[in-house]
Amino acid sequence: MRKWLGGWIWISVIILFISGCSEDQQSNKEPAPAVAITATPDISPTASAGIEDPKAEKVLYSSDPEAIKAFLSAQKIPNGDIYLQDNKVHINIVGLNSQIEQRFAQTFAAGTYELHDVKYSMQELLAAQELLHKQELYQKLNLYCSGVDTIGNKVTITIPSDYAETAILEIEKWIAPDMLTYDISELGEPHVIGQIVDIDTKQAKRILILEPGMEDPSYWFSFNQKSTMFNEAGESISFKDLKVGQQVELWSTGMVDESFPALASVRRLQLNATE
């Protein structure tokens, strides 16, 4: 059964005070009140109707992330997060309409922000990403990683090309397809070429690799259920066929722990003929 994710994201109210030292304050007179963006911005009925009140002093604030967050929370506007780009604050709004646009125009200076209509709130995107963990899809489908694309309003999932078709079909049983984008990792050239100098079977199945021209081994490569191994003729082999001294080409899953030796996992191993 396909599960659809719902809900709103509410960002905690932040009150931003914009203040400075005025001439009145310097002369010890009664200080003028500080200008503030409060949790309930004052949008007058005349302004909402598009009628200018000549007696009213209109103050437009230059948008910044904290002021925007306070405004979104106060106005109870569901959103897909904000980001900075091209010297503007960009705001993803779920269900953007003319009324919301007018509220922003009455509060923030034109040219300091840009609104975008999106389908999903940040809470929904994060919930979808968490669902990948809860359903153990990383292990079952050999997913490499995932992330939230704030600008695109999507969850991006990295999948090896070997399992992409099967993985996508399963993922979309749980998460709405229009919430997802995929980064398909092609095999390409081997990431590491070297010699097996040690084989560890105590804690996990892994091999220690010495690269050409190096004095010390530089990688421990571990294996999982999705790792594939082939001999010089391209025939499938297993971990027990590996021996110290063999020359190998290795493709990693892309995740490397930069210790020394570095820790990586095998996507594909190919034995090379010994010269």
Q: Which domains does the chain have, with CATH numbers?
A: 16-118 (no CATH), 123-185 (3.30.300.50), 192-272 (2.40.50.140)
DSSP designation for 62: P
The single-letter DSSP state of residue 204 is: S
Query: 3-state DSSP call for residue 255?
Result: strand
DSSP category for residue 81: E
Name which of 147, 137, 124, 133 is nearest 173 in CA terms.
137
Instruction: Express as a percent the part of the chain with pLDDT over 90.
Output: 67
Distance CA 193, CA 212 (A): 8
Among 36-50, 114-128, 162-176, the least confident range: 36-50
Q: What is the mean pLDDT of residues 184-209?
A: 93
pLDDT at 106 over 70: yes
User: Which band of pLDDT confidence, cut at 50, 70 and 90, is reported for residue 59?
Assistant: low
Closest CA to 4 of 127, 159, 151, 176: 176
Confidence of residue 214 (pLDDT cuts 50, 70, 90): very high
When pLDDT is averaged across residues 141-145 and rounded to a whole number, the result is 91
Residue 37 has a pLDDT of: 31
**Looking at per-residue confidence, does 237 or 8 come out higher?**
237
Q: Any idea which of 61-65, 69-73, 245-249 has the lowest mean pLDDT?
A: 61-65
Evaluate if residue 39 carries a pLDDT over 60: no
- How confident is the model at residue 56, as a pLDDT? 42
d(CA 128, CA 176): 9
- Nearest by Cα to 230 from 245, 250, 210: 250
Strand 154-160: give its sheet, edge to edge: 145-149, 154-160, 180-185
pLDDT of residue 274: 67
pLDDT at position 63 is 78
The residue-averaged pLDDT of 253-274 equals: 88
Distance CA 33, CA 20 (A): 10
In sequence order, the β-bridge partners of residue 36 are 17
